[in-house]
Amino acid sequence: MKSYHVGKLGVAEGIALVFGMIVSRLFLSGMSDGIRNNGQLYWLAMILFTLIPLVVLFMMVYVNNSVSGDIVVVCKHLVGKAGAWLIVIAYSGMFFANSVLVLRQYAEYTLSTALPRADFQLVIVWYAVTAGVICYLGIEALCRASCILLPFMLVGLFLIFAMVSPFYIVYNLTPWQGNGIMTVVESGVHGVGYNMGVLSLVFLSSAFQNTKTIKSAAIYAISGSLVLRIVDMLVYTMVFGVAVGGEKTMPFYELARLVYVNQYIQRIEALFIVVWVMFGLMAIAGSMYMGLYLIVVLLKLPGLRPIAPLGAIIVANLAMLPPDIGTTIRLDQLLVQVSQVGIYLFPGILFVMALVKKRRKKSCADI
């Protein structure tokens, strides 16, 4: 039987949280960039940048289990106070930056596809306020709402994949080597930042039932997202091919525009706005919550709710800073590169320190 204590989230909630945070870029230009750079073999890069964060998550779970307490306590114990501040602020910044850049890209996406006459600021503020409200409601509300809506959203996506089947050209998947295996491996190693959201499970470990829950949620979420990404990539490539597909900035929207079943079921991309808006909200709210949560534990604040509106205001203002969508996409790619620090460097240091401390403790005990 299950306990309902506040903060005792289960596997389904964990899957929804991570899935929402890492799948949102499926609708953005990252997909077409990846296809342009890697060709038909992009799926291999996806496998790589999915497996590496999973390994890193298991390392972080080990680190988290070696010291009891939140992430700040763990970091203080392993790398000292200054190191802890550096690591936690860096992670918080990465999550905030993710929130800001996803928000900006979704706002641009909304302006281009759904509300061409809407005011830019209004769209930004709208998304930020909605994400702020969700953060205010708490992690339980965010995860459980995502958990309920996710199946419907996935059905919507797979419906699109099925309805564009008349446009599939299987030959577009050849040559299967794409732009070369080394390029793909390089992309896979550098693209781990796309999946940094999986670490949120470790940071929020006190909210989950136990370590097994975190591990199961991570495995299901990340492998599920991998399947979805690969299916999307293959469908997209089959429909548009690498040359054309690599040029498009709104891959999913372009895919949905092709749907023509009969004169009554056509131009349904507008209806699928609901799906990608919800994916976007999950990513923006999830990242914003993580950014705020890390600040809260770092400063030992009594609660997160009072700073949720502040977080929303900051995110909205930062999202308005990039002068155009081109700059935003470049910044987003930069963030994915910078996020490697959060995947390789910090967990690596913490893991090594945890191992060293454990060995020292053991040797002391032997003496």
Partner 1 sequence: MRKDGIQTIYTSIKNILVYQPSKQPDPFVLDENQQDTKKINCDPIPLDSSESLQQLEAMVQYAKRLVTFIEDYIEELHNGQWFGKRREWKVQYDALKQQQTEINAILEKKNNDDNVSEPTISTSLEENQKKIEEIYQLPLNKDVVIRKFIISTQPEVKALLIFMDGLADKKVMNMAVLQPLMLLQNQQESDSDVVDFIIEQCLPSGQASRVGSFKEVQQGINTGDAVLFLDGIGEAVTIETKGAEHRGVDRPATEQSVRGSQNAFTEVLRVNTALIRSMLHSSDLITEMIPVGKRGHSNCAIMYLKTIANEELVAEVRRRIKGINTDIIIDSGILEHFIVDFPSNPFPQTLSTERPDRVVVHLVEGRVAILVDGSPFGHIAPISLFTLMHSADDFSMHFYYSNFLRMIRWVGGLISMLLPALYLAISTFHQEAIPTELLLSITAARGQVPFPTIFEILLMELAFELIREGGLRIPGILGSTLGIVGAIILGQAAVSAKIVSPIMVIVIAVTGLASYSIPEYRLASAFRIFRLVFVFMALVMGLVGVACSFFVLTGILSSLKSFGMPYLAPIAPKTTSGGDVILRKPVHMQQRRPDELNTQDVIRQGDVSRPWTKQIPTGGDDS
Is residue 12 at the binding interface for partner 1, with CB under 8 A as the rule? Answer: yes
Measured from the CB atom, the residue of 116 and 323 that comes closer to partner 1 is 116
CA distance 31 to 126: 26
**Smallest gap, in angstroms, from Cβ of residue 141 to partner 1?**
4
One residue of 141, 154, 313, 355 binding partner 1 per CB under 8 A:
141
Q: Which is nearer to partner 1, 5 or 364 (CB)?
A: 5
Interface pick for partner 1 out of 76, 104, 144, 248 (rule CB under 8 A): 144
Stretch of residues binding partner 1 (CB under 8 A), selected from 124-132, 161-169, 175-183, 192-200: 124-132
Q: Does 82 bind partner 1 (CB under 8 A)?
A: no
Q: Applying CB under 8 A, which of residues 19, 42, 127, 351 lies at the interface with partner 1?
A: 127
**Range 288-317, binding partner 1 (CB under 8 A):** 299, 301-303, 306
Rule CB under 8 A: say whether 13 interacts with partner 1: yes
Per-residue binding string, partner 1, 85-114, x by CB under 8 A, is -------------------------x---x
Positions that interact with partner 1 (CB under 8 A)? 1-6, 9-10, 12-13, 110, 114-115, 118, 122-123, 126-127, 130, 133-134, 137-138, 140-142, 144-145, 147-149, 263-264, 266-271, 273-274, 277-278, 281, 299, 301-303, 306
